[in-house]
């Protein structure tokens, strides 16, 4: 766990790989819950029988936005920010889903602090490159730059 306690800590860590999360199994139950929460019931995600028969991936896959939504939970295993008055998710850059996440597969997140800048209000903006991989897959399932603003 990489812990930041000040703006200077963050600024000094630019370019650093912050770490890697534990493995998380993406279950059909999680996919179904995401479908319910978002209204995205596309068969390739939720119709297991049809996905097993017709999907080019050999079965159901997680929603791309489900994989993106796992980033905060997995990132909390990698790094934390202490002594902050406020931290907010400010957005994402360059979100890509290069390969699918088959239901039942294990995923893991690696985070790298790509940029950090001090903003005019004194807050620090962190751009963290997040890469979510599927165990034994040749390329990542998700690559995204997340933007966080932190005020100390």
Give the Cα separation of 90 and 58 in Å (integer).
36
- By percentage, how much of the chain surpasses pLDDT 70? 100
Tell me phi and psi for residue 123, to 5 degrees.
Answer: -75, 165
Longest dimension (CA), the chain: 55
Q: How confident is the model at residue 120 (pLDDT cuts 50, 70, 90)?
A: very high
CA distances 31 to 24, 60, 113, Å, are 13, 9, 29
Tens of pLDDT, residues 15-49? 999 999 999 999 999 999 999 999 999 999 999 99
Mean pLDDT of 75-99: 97
**pTM for this one?**
0.94
CB neighbours of residue 121 within 10 Å: 7
């Amino acid at each position: 766990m990489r812990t930041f306690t000040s703006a200077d800590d963050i600024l000094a860590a630019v370019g650093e790989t912050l770490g890697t999360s534990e493995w998380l199994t993406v279950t059909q139950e999680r996919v179904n819950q995401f479908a319910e929460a978002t209204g995205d019931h596309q068969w390739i995600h939720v119709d297991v029988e049809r996905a097993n028969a017709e999907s080019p991936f050999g079965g159901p896959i997680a929603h791309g936005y489900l994989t993106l939504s796992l980033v905060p939970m997995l990132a909390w295993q990698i790094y934390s920010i202490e002594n902050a008055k406020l931290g907010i998710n400010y957005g994402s850059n360059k979100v890509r889903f290069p390969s699918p996440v088959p239901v039942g597969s294990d995923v893991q997140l690696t985070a790298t602090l790509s940029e950090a800048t001090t903003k005019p209000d004194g807050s620090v903006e962190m751009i963290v490159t997040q890469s979510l991989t599927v165990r034994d897959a040749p390329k990542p399932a998700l690559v995204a730059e997340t933007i966080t603003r932190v005020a100390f």
